[in-house]
Amino acid sequence: MIGLLQNSLPAFLIVFPGLLLAISLHELAHCWVADQLGDPTPRAKGRLTLDPRAHLDPLGVVAILFTPFGWGKPAPYDPYNLKDPVRDSALIAVAGAVVNLIIAIILAIILRLTNFPFLWLNFALSQLLTTNVLLAVFNLIPVAPLDGSKVLSALLPKKTAYEYEKFMDRFGILILLLLIFPTRNGQSPLMLLISPLVNLIIQILL
């Protein structure tokens, strides 16, 4: 993002707020699905709103300026309020990634149908599309505390899921940090892992 600011201020003025909106909608999606599944927690905490201030984490906002990622405040929900805690938790978890993919599809349609005369505008929308796909795929990695861990837990047999959750409670953060930390060539194992899928989705959309 800092490099984007140096190269094109107009593009930065679109991409930065666009990413904040994408993260806000991601967290709102979690909260909305939890509310629809019978959990009043997000509503009680004022999270069923389009106001980004309810969903953004200040440190996550700063991170966007220096990394390809940012994050929002975790969506609050109580699994004891859900009819099927395992299945419903997975539905809540996957909702954020679905919203990011919907945003990417909308941006792809705009880019396909509109020939903007400004190169920086096409670049900015392409950046937003790529980042939304990246956020969707990244969040579905089955490593806690990412959303994908809840999705995988719902798909595993009950006993296996219990052991998996115990393992992730102990080592999930460490595994995630090791995946994110760049290697000698400056590329993180995480990006090597998800880049083929991210590129495939972008190619399909564009």
DSSP string, the chain: -HHHHHH-HHHHHHHHHHHHHHHHHHHHHHHHHHHHTT--HHHHTT-SSS-GGGTB-HHHHHHHHHSS---BPPPP--GGGSSSHHHHHHHHHHHHHHHHHHHHHHHHHHHHH---S-HHHHHHHHHHHHHHHHHHHHHTSSSTTSHHHHHHHHHS-HHHHHHHHHHHHHHHHHHHHHHHS--TTS--HHHHHHHHHHHHHHHHH-
pLDDT for res 197: 96
Q: What's the mean pLDDT in 152-161?
A: 95
* Predicted confidence (pLDDT) at residue 203 exceeds the cutoff of 50: yes
Of residues 163 and 187, which shows the higher confidence score? 163
Give the model's confidence band at 10: pLDDT under 50 very low, under 70 low, under 90 confident, else very high: confident
pLDDT of residue 191: 87
- Average per-residue pLDDT for the chain: 91
Maximum average pLDDT range among 7-11, 107-111, 122-126, 181-185: 107-111
pLDDT reading at 5 higher than 60: no
- pLDDT tops 70 at residue 69: no
